[in-house]
Amino acid sequence: MSENNTHSKVIGYVLWIFGFLGAHRFYFGKPITGTIWFLTLGLCGIGWIIDLFLIPGMDRAADRRYVEGRLDYTIAWILLTFLGFFGIHRLYMGKWITALIWFLTGGLFLLGYLYDYWTLNEQIAEANGKSD
Residues 81-121: tens digit of each pLDDT: 888 889 999 999 999 999 999 899 988 877 888 899 999 99
Q: Could you tell me the residue ranges of all domains in the chain?
A: 1-65, 69-132
15-28, pLDDT tens digit by residue? 998 767 899 999 99
pLDDT of residue 112: 86
* SS3 (DSSP) at 18: coil
Q: Which phi-psi region, left, alpha or beta, contains residue 61 (left: φ > 0; alpha: ψ -120 to 50)? A: alpha
pLDDT of residue 21: 82
Helix boundaries (H) for the chain: 9-17, 23-27, 31-44, 46-65, 73-83, 88-92, 96-109, 111-131
pLDDT band at 57 (very low <50, low <70, confident <90, very high): very high
Q: State residue 6 phi and psi, 5-degree precision.
A: -85, -25
> Across all residues in the chain, what is the average pLDDT?
90
Judged against a pLDDT cut of 60, whether residue 7 lies above it is answered with: yes
